[in-house]
Amino acid sequence: MTRTLPHPFDLATELAAVGDGRFAGRTAAPYANMVGPFGGITAATLMRAILDDPRRLAEPVSLTVNFAGPVADGPFEIDARPVRTNRSTQHWLLTMSQDDAVTTTATAVFANRRPTWAATELTPPAAPPAASVPVSEVPEFIAWVGNYEMRFVEGAVAEIEAGRPSSSTSTLWVRDEPPRPLDYPALTALSDVFFPRVMHRLGRIVPAGTVSMTVYFHATADLLAAQGDDPILATARAQHFGNGYFDQSAQLWTADGELLVTSHQLVYFKDA
C-alpha cells in the first residue's frame, strides 16, 4: 500500500489545540528565512489557527499580521479570540508568543460572502503561460524558497545576486513545491513570496524585514478549489523608500485573470 506523506507546508503550519482558542506549534526548518522563519509561514499558521477553531464562521476576507519581534526556532503558542461575531462578519484577535513574550499579533475578518455586482479594475500583468517560462534558480542559503516553484517573468532574484540595481517590480508564476492544492493558508503564505523590494532597487542584499502585512482575500472557496495546484501569477512593487522603511503592494492572479488576493506590506530596511 502506498503511504502518502503530509505536505511540508501542512507540517510547518500544523497546530495542536491546548485549550479554548489556544494552539501549540513549532517552527519548521524547511521554512527558515535569513533570520527566523519565513514571514509567510508565520502568517499562514495564524490563519490556520482560526480555520482550526470550532468557533470560526464563514471565510476570510482580510488578515493583518504585525511582526512585533523575532520568532526563535522552537515551540510557540497562539491565542486566537473572536472578539465580535455579527450576522455576516466575525472579527478575530490573535497573538503568537514564546516564553511568555509576544512575537506576533494579528487581526482577521471572516465574512459570509453574498452574490452582488462585481468588477475588477486592476488588470493582471502581461506574462507568457507558466509552462513556457523556465523554473528560476533561487538562493540555496535561504531555506524557505526551496518550497516554491518560481518562474520569473520580471525582477528575478538572480538580478540581486548579480549586483544589478533594477525596478522594484517582480512578476512570477509560483506554486508550492511539491505542488499542493491551493487553500487559504497557502494563499496567505504565497502573498509573501517576494524578496524585499529594496534589494532589487539597490542590487544587493541588505538587512530588511516585514513589520506589518495585510492580505485581502478576493478568492472564494469555490475559486480556490477550481485553481487546484496550478501556478498563480504574482506581482509586487514598492511605492516609496525612505527613513528606514518602504511599502509594497502585491496582487495574485489565476491564469484566467481572476484576482485572488491583494496584499500590502510595510518593510524595515538598512542600506549600510
Residue 226's pLDDT is what?
97
| Class at the top of the CATH hierarchy for domain 8-112+130-269 | mainly beta
Domain boundaries, given as residue ranges, for the chain: 8-112+130-269
pLDDT of residue 35: 86
Q: If pLDDT is split at 50, 70 and 90, which confidence band does 1 have?
A: very low
Model pLDDT for residues 70-105, shown as the tens digit of each residue: 999 999 999 999 999 999 999 999 999 999 999 999
What is the structure's pLDDT at 2?
54
The pLDDT score that the predictor gives to residue 94 is: 98
The predicted pLDDT at position 140 comes to 83
Task: Say what percent of the chain tops pLDDT 90.
Answer: 92
Confirm if 192 and 234 have CB atoms less than 8 A apart.
no
**Is pLDDT at 146 greater than 80 in this prediction?**
yes
pLDDT score at 122: 96
- Flag the least confident range among 31-35, 37-41, 189-193, 235-239: 31-35
- Kindly state the percentage of the chain with pLDDT values over 70: 99
Q: What is the pTM of this model?
A: 0.96
- Mean pLDDT for 59-64 is 98
pLDDT at 162: 86
Determine the average pLDDT of the residues in 138-155.
94
User: Predicted confidence band at 141 (pLDDT cuts at 50, 70, 90)?
Assistant: confident
pLDDT at 3 exceeding the cut of 50: yes
